[in-house]
Structure 1
Amino acid sequence: MGTAHIYDVIVIGAGPVGENVADRAVAAGLSTVIVESELVGGECSYWACEPSKALLRPVLLRAEASRVPGLDPAVAGPLDTAAVLAHRDRMSAHWDDTGQVEWLASAGIELLRGHGRIAGTRRVAVDTPEGVTVLLEARHAVAVCTGSRAALPDLPGLDELRPWTSREATSAREVPERLVVVGAGVVGTEMATAWQGLGSQVTLVARGDRLLPRMEPFAGQLVAEALGAAGADVRLGVGVARAVRDAGPDGTVRITLTDGTELLADELLFATGRAPRTDDIGLEAVGRTPGEWLTVDDTLTVTGVPGDWLYAVGDVNARALFTHQGKYQARIAGAVIAARAQGTALDSTPWSPHTGTADTAAVPQVVFTSPEIAAVGLTTAEAGRTGRRVDVVDQEIGNVAGAHQHTPGYRGTARILIDPERRTVVGATFAGPGVAELLYSATVAIATEAPVDRLWHAVPAFPTISEVWLRLLETYRG
């Protein structure tokens, strides 16, 4: 391998999280190299956030427009699938990372393409596409930002089955006539919504008794009803017992469910969770187990590794598997790396730039289904499991005038959870058209621990959906 190339900071993984760690390090005057084995820009840019929302936006907009007087006949026909897929391709930069590579160069971040593995304390070995192994050494920090991948079930013949994961679901070149989606979470419900709207006959299969099981029950119920109304077949309480694909590139997938029912599909999507991309990054060199999630403290430093030099940022640490939370963690990690490199003491106060708190206490999430689901903080079930006493306040969003200006016959529900002793909001869930825009106000309320008596003086504009905040607070105050 020869002599090591020395940098202040080495980042493994050039997705949004790795890019932000590297950018913060360079901004602090630290020489930084980023290692990437696939496309610079990562999962979010090419196979997750960007393409999935490009597929969903026309579907969701048509669903809303179909309920608006004067527009409903105009949107009755099928979507222009070719135009939607072409827009998806543009939003994914046609799976070309030239623009992202140019941004790295403009930011002063060096890029090394190849597969990086930890090779000891502050050392990383990179196998390049040219067949050369390059040894890197960091003066201060190595940040693992390798993200997560789709977790597949343990089914016989999986290779021959050729199932879709989230990557295939967001990058498919054609609309499958019949699509079976396995999984009731965000990926499953979003992709069921998208492909049903684009012309597939979708069957969604879920082992549990409701969709979106980690959210408030009314959220999953509304999504299930909307999928059914759109023509999808939602089957709860069942799983896949067996699946085989007929011979040939376009072979039919034959699926047997645990209740004995048989389904035929052109494609089968498994949306059954995520696993960390840590199975081949050299964790054994630092006494950790390949394939495990990396536990970190609130400075994003990997626990159990001496020396405060190894960081795990983003999905790989399992704190909050969202791009926006990974970028938040990157800002924290960047500040910590810079402070330690400069010999500056870390500030450990709750609002410190060196302490990650928003990825545990106030994690916002939007599910871009029909209707939209937006949530932050605790759910009622989570509060119950942890013994947290909360007051639950519900309000039908359709009771506010702004909702009917948005969509006539508006159906949706808002719920906030209030700590009765501190009188602060600790959780919020909104389900209905356009509710994503309510989420930031709820996140601010939870993150700042603003008392409800103070929120009473935050006046929502009329007529907007945000009036539901006033109704929730009125209900609570009595």
Structure 2
Amino acid sequence: MTDRPDGAEGFGPDAADVDTYDVIVIGGGPPGENLAERTRAAGLRTVVVERELLGGECSYWACMPSKALLRPPAALAAARAVPGARAAVHGGLDVEEVLAHRDAFASGWQDDSQVEWLRSVDVELVRGQGRLAGPRSVVVTTPEGGELRLAARHAVALCTGSRATLPDLPGMAEARPWSSREATSARHVPERLAVVGGGVVGVEMAAAWRALGSRVTLLARGGSLLPRWEPFVGELVAEGLAGAGVEVRTGASVSGLRRPEESGPVVVEVSGGNAVIADEVLFATGRRPGTENLGLETVGLTPGDWLSTDDSLQVEGVPGGWLYGAGDVTHRAMLTHQGKYQARIAAEAIVARARDQRLDDAPWGRHAATADRRAVPQVVFTDPEAASVGLTLEDARQAGLRVRAVDYDLGSVAGAALHAEGYRGRARAVVDLDREVLVGATFVGSGVGELLHSATIAVAGEVPIARLWHAVPSFPTMSEVWLRLLETYRG
């Protein structure tokens, strides 16, 4: 335990209690787990430090439980949309079974299986709050209140994610609002739910809890839902939510909250509009970096800030090149799959540097997270679904590209018409006219998430439009929309 790396001077002269690893990962969500698995597979002794449940936000309070809540109503709606199948649908959702299904996908909020997996790949686990204590040095405060001191030969990786942020509004404390955690783990269905925020979390949770029986009012401060997407996406999702019984109010800015009685309803005050009375209120209004209490100041960084990283995920502004970040904490692309992608890139870079190998960090190189900037895929699991990858038309124009948007009515594709009676949807491809490659694609409609990976390959692979003509879509599937988009582009 006295094998102390050069530069690990944060512990003072007595190194007798320092446990040394090749790689220390702080944060055991999907990015941390993936990074640790890959560095260990390459022969580097690796430890994960986690203060909560191993598996992180995605496993217990985000991706898995939210999609488990959303899938049953989506399946029910899909059956009702097919002639001959709708006759077999009797009644509504079994709410208790849906919540039990959700609980199972969240592993009952126990991480035993995750711990077993980590052991199976020979990565060590330390429970507690980890923080930097100088270059390559980490102190862990254990649940029992003790302290462990760790040192890294090659790298420390911060994979501590993000946290829901609540606005500073009058009455917030007594209102006891839900964040995304309560929204995905609640054990009862509120009779009335107010959702504040028109982004992905807001629209998904409005859809889920309306399907489970809540009377839901969605309050979006801006003029549309999903404002970072193509404009038609928010319009169609708002239409779908309204059709399901959600009251959608755009241009609605919340000015304060009141809960006069501890167990009574909450009054949500809306500037220039009628107040909303609800049993619970969910704020889905943004995220903040999980960098508090990480000791960033001991290495010259500002506590509470997002981590700025280069494309190899090395944290910028830290001498020695030993500190890395992956996942939400980098603010590059705040999605689980992108965090795992970043972790793979970071692990490859750590291993290469540990072996004194040259990095392939040019765009699309082995050690460059280029997709974070050019080919980020995302799905919103409402009804209709929305799926996109790469740049919107406006983003492409802002980037200085000469582009053209090519649109097509998805409902006119044979596969979509077979998928659901009266299918409504839309597809858009954004074409870089100078290079004749796709730089973005967006789909809205039932089941469009399954179209997304082909679009991601086209964008990330910079496949020429002329070559895409030779990628023949099977008939009759919704993938035929690719042919229709190309025909529309050629005119």
Q: TM-score, normalised by structure 1?
A: 0.98
**Residue in structure 2 matched with residue 69 of structure 1 by the alignment:** 83
Query: Can you list the C-alpha shifts for 1:65-109, whole angstroms capped at 9, x where unaligned?
Result: 222112224335221000000000000000010000011111110
- 1:401 is matched with which residue: 406, 409, 414? 414
Conserved 8 A contact 1:68-1:407: yes
Bigger drift between 252-261 and 34-43 goes to 252-261
Alignment of 1:174-253 (within 5 A): 174-248=188-262, 250-253=263-266
- 2:427 is matched with which residue: 414, 436, 454? 414
AA of the residue aligned to 1:477: R
Conserved 8 A contact 1:117-1:124: yes
- 1:109 is matched with which residue: 123, 130, 142? 123
For the residue of structure 1 that corresponds to 2:258, the secondary structure is: strand
**Residue in structure 1 matched with residue 454 of structure 2 by the alignment:** 441
**Residue in structure 2 matched with residue 310 of structure 1 by the alignment:** 323
AA of the residue aligned to 1:267: E
Percent of residue pairs bearing the same amino acid type? 62
CA distance in 1, matches of 2:276, 2:422: 35
Per-residue deviation, 1:238:
1.0
Alignment of 1:165-176 (within 5 A): 165-176=179-190
For the residue of structure 1 that corresponds to 2:371, the secondary structure is: coil
CA distance in 1, matches of 2:245, 2:171: 31
Per-residue deviation, 1:247:
2.6
**Residue in structure 1 matched with residue 169 of structure 2 by the alignment:** 155
Query: Can you list the C-alpha shifts for 1:430-457, whole angstroms capped at 9, x where unaligned?
Result: 0001111110111000111111110001
**Residue in structure 1 matched with residue 362 of structure 2 by the alignment:** 349
**Residue in structure 1 matched with residue 8 of structure 2 by the alignment:** none
CA distance in 2, matches of 1:378, 1:198: 34
Q: Is 2:19 the partner of 1:5?
A: yes
Conserved 8 A contact 1:66-1:76: no
For the residue of structure 2 that corresponds to 1:360, the secondary structure is: helix
Q: Is 2:137 the partner of 1:123?
A: yes
Q: Is 2:74 the partner of 1:44?
A: no
CA distance in 2, matches of 1:251, 1:124: 46
Per-residue deviation, 1:7:
0.5
**Residue in structure 1 matched with residue 272 of structure 2 by the alignment:** 259
CA distance in 2, matches of 1:436, 1:442: 10
Q: Is 2:153 the partner of 1:139?
A: yes
Conserved 8 A contact 2:162-2:290: yes
For the residue of structure 1 that corresponds to 2:345, the secondary structure is: helix
**Residue in structure 2 matched with residue 476 of structure 1 by the alignment:** 489
Query: Can you list the C-alpha shifts for 1:51-72, whole angstroms capped at 9, x where unaligned?
Result: 0000000111122222211222
For the residue of structure 2 that corresponds to 1:404, the secondary structure is: helix
**Residue in structure 1 matched with residue 74 of structure 2 by the alignment:** 60
CA distance in 1, matches of 2:424, 2:139: 55
**Residue in structure 2 matched with residue 326 of structure 1 by the alignment:** 339
For the residue of structure 2 that corresponds to 1:327, the secondary structure is: helix
Q: Which segments of 5 or more consecutive residues in structure 1 lack a partner in the other structure?
A: none
CA distance in 1, matches of 2:88, 2:199: 32
Query: Can you list the C-alpha shifts for 1:161-217, whole angstroms capped at 9, x where unaligned?
Result: 110000000000011100000001000000000000110000000011111100011
CA distance in 2, matches of 1:284, 1:251: 44
Conserved 8 A contact 1:255-1:263: yes
CA distance in 2, matches of 1:313, 1:30: 18
AA of the residue aligned to 1:383: A
CA distance in 1, matches of 2:370, 2:362: 10
Per-residue deviation, 1:383:
1.8
**Residue in structure 2 matched with residue 89 of structure 1 by the alignment:** 103
CA distance in 1, matches of 2:73, 2:419: 17
AA of the residue aligned to 2:190: P
Q: Which segments of 5 or more consecutive residues in structure 2 lack a partner in the other structure?
A: 1-10
For the residue of structure 2 that corresponds to 1:431, the secondary structure is: strand
CA distance in 2, matches of 1:423, 1:75: 47
CA distance in 2, matches of 1:125, 1:41: 21
CA distance in 2, matches of 1:67, 1:34: 47
CA distance in 2, matches of 1:138, 1:247: 52
**Residue in structure 1 matched with residue 397 of structure 2 by the alignment:** 384
CA distance in 2, matches of 1:46, 1:424: 39
Conserved 8 A contact 1:163-1:269: yes
**Residue in structure 2 matched with residue 429 of structure 1 by the alignment:** 442
Query: Can you list the C-alpha shifts for 1:206-258, whole angstroms capped at 9, x where unaligned?
Result: 0111111000111111111111111110000011111022333x321111101
- 1:300 is matched with which residue: 295, 298, 313? 313
CA distance in 2, matches of 1:364, 1:39: 27
Per-residue deviation, 1:143:
0.1
Q: Is 2:473 the partner of 1:460?
A: yes
Query: Can you list the C-alpha shifts for 1:240-281, whole angstroms capped at 9, x where unaligned?
Result: 111022333x32111110114111101000000111100111
CA distance in 2, matches of 1:118, 1:227: 45
Per-residue deviation, 1:475:
0.7
Q: TM-score, normalised by structure 2?
A: 0.96
AA of the residue aligned to 1:195: W
Conserved 8 A contact 1:203-1:235: yes
Per-residue deviation, 1:344:
1.1
For the residue of structure 2 that corresponds to 1:466, the secondary structure is: helix
**Residue in structure 1 matched with residue 47 of structure 2 by the alignment:** 33
Conserved 8 A contact 2:364-2:371: no
CA distance in 2, matches of 1:29, 1:157: 53
Conserved 8 A contact 2:416-2:477: yes
CA distance in 1, matches of 2:349, 2:243: 50
